[in-house]
Amino acid sequence: MAQPAVVVNDPGLPASPAHGALARVLWYRQMERYPATGPRVVYLAIVVLATIVLYYQLYVAGSVAPQILAHYGMSFRFYVDITVAANAVGAFTSLLAGVADRWGRANMVAYPLGITALLVLFGVPNAPNEWAFAVLVVAVGFVEGIILVATPALVRDFSPQLGRASAMGFWTLGPVVGSLVVSVVASNTLSHLHAWQDQFVICGIVGLGVFAIALFGLRELSPNLRDQLMVSMRDRALIEARARGIDPREAMRRPWRQVVRPEIVLSAFAIALFLIIYYTAVGFNVIYFETIFGFKASQANALGNWLWAFDAGGLVVVGIVSDALRVRKPLMVLGAAGAIAMTIIYLDQATNPHTGYYTIVWIFSLLAVFLAITYAPWMASFTETVERRNPALQAHGLAVWGWIIRVVIAVSIFVLPFVVSSVTPLVDHGALGVRANAILKKDPNVSVVLAHPALFTQLAKYPPTKVPAPLLQKAIKEVGLPRLLAISKDTRLKSEVAFFQRNAATLTSVSNAAKRSPQEWQTWYWICVGGEAAFLPLILVMTGRWRPKSARRDAEEHARRVQEELATLSEQASA
């Protein structure tokens, strides 16, 4: 059947030509015609770049968390509560972002990007105290909740279903590459840019640059175009023809009632549980590797380079594979099963302080690949599940997802210090522990004195030449004459022993925490395994085929219906 003659203008034109050129650039961004592949790819690239920078800004604090705690004298519990508050606030701004179905998406990406860039560049580095720091971080979380919903909504608008997994794979690069940028910048600059504030300054400058790109370059579809289901680029002419008769207000009636459905809520809850392991890595990897393995901040961040690089590569590849096979669910099952296996291996090896650096690298990297295999197809399937309910309510559906994932993250982060209680004394008093270890390595006489407190308390009552013979014989027997002579000549010993005596309770707490920390982290990672396992049965509630053959048959049937509807519209236009 010949393609009906429906006129389509390739580039896509602004929806409001009555407004001035500057107004169209800065505010009125809607297009009444679906853009050709070239402009569409540019818009998608800007969305992905904006998402990367947003998450770079959101995650940068994790790369220098120990330095921030030391700078403000902040307790680890307070730091965790800041993260909980930021996620809780972001959860509710995600719900507010559901208005993107009415107000559009582009402005809800561009202008918040500028706000977060200013907060990160000027606000956070100059925060005078821990409370000001907390308010600014929560403000970034507030804005992030909006962009979290608006950016995937734009990706969905510009990507037909048959290319959706690839597009969502690239969008998901945002959080992952954002994490990678944090790790790369920190691991390469912390050794010579020692101030933690420098990491925020670099991040803020990058953010302002991307804000300018989004402000002048980002566009969006008009409601009449985006409120339809598009399976392939061949649907483009039909969508534009339909758009002339669509009433967006009718499609938007009672939006929350339409999207708060079991298949949408349960699938969002499933991925939130699955990603507990991911958000643990984002927020606590640097602290984890510094306290368990004694790595420097640059070394701990360098581990993230491997994790996020493998995750990013996996997202792109699996998106392409999912679109080629035209199925999502089998890949989600494969990824979740692999993630469960690698997390179990990880919790066994990465809680052992004797595990080698590159052993952790490879376990970490394979875990990241399986996370990617799960997440890119899930993101595509979720948007398709929302489309099945109502294509006009994509932002509302994503708002439900954003709210659920932020609440689950907030709760899990709040619970973590209760499960891994050892992390609080290790972080809060880690500097004392480091100093104590340094003293013991440098001066072994200290450990001898500390091992025989009663003996050396008695010896301290007498000058070296007037120690009673029985006490001297006892000291020689317990310590040995060479060590006793070395201790008597050690001029720094008195102050070093006094340090241990002053901080005895704290150092005991740190020592006990260090002993139980690996087992407590292991318990936490078992909780992460539970979240990954809970994800598997909830795949069943989502839309989509299991067999590529069935998916291809659906696509062929859809193409046939498109041709028939276009022919009907063409006949009506010529009548």
Instruction: Find the helix or strand (DSSP H, E) in which 346 lies.
Output: helix 329-349
pTM exceeds 0.85: no
pLDDT per position as a tens digit, 524-557? 999 999 999 999 999 998 888 888 888 777 666 7
Residue reference for tokens 């925490």: 513
CA neighbor of 24 nearest in space, from 224, 220, 316: 220
In the chain, where are the structural domains located? 21-241+262-431+513-570
pLDDT score of 188: 84
Residues 54 and 144: beta-carbon distance below 8 Å: yes
pLDDT score of 271: 94
pLDDT score of 337: 96
Distance CA 208, CA 359 (A): 38
Residues 423 and 285: beta-carbon distance below 8 Å: no
pLDDT score of 335: 95
Q: How many CA atoms lie within 13 A of 446 on its CB side?
A: 20
CA neighbor of 62 nearest in space, from 281, 347, 350: 281
The residues of the chain scoring below 50 in pLDDT are 1-16, 229-238, 240-244
CA neighbor of 517 nearest in space, from 279, 272, 284, 183: 284
- Cβ–Cβ contacts within 10 Å for residue 428, how many? 22
pLDDT score of 183: 81
* Domain topology for 21-241+262-431+513-570: Growth Hormone; Chain: A; (1.20.1250)
pLDDT score of 251: 55
Q: Is 73 helix (H, G, I), strand (E, B) or coil?
A: coil
Handedness of CA 385, 390, 391, 396 (dihedral sign): negative
Distance CA 570, CA 187 (A): 60
DSSP string, 135-159: HHHHHHHHHHHHHHHHHHHHHHHTS
Residues 497 and 450: beta-carbon distance below 8 Å: yes
pLDDT score of 430: 66
- Length of the chain equals 575
pLDDT per position as a tens digit, 265-310? 999 999 999 999 988 887 788 778 877 777 777 777 788 778 888 8
Phi, psi of 413 (to 5 degrees): -65, -35
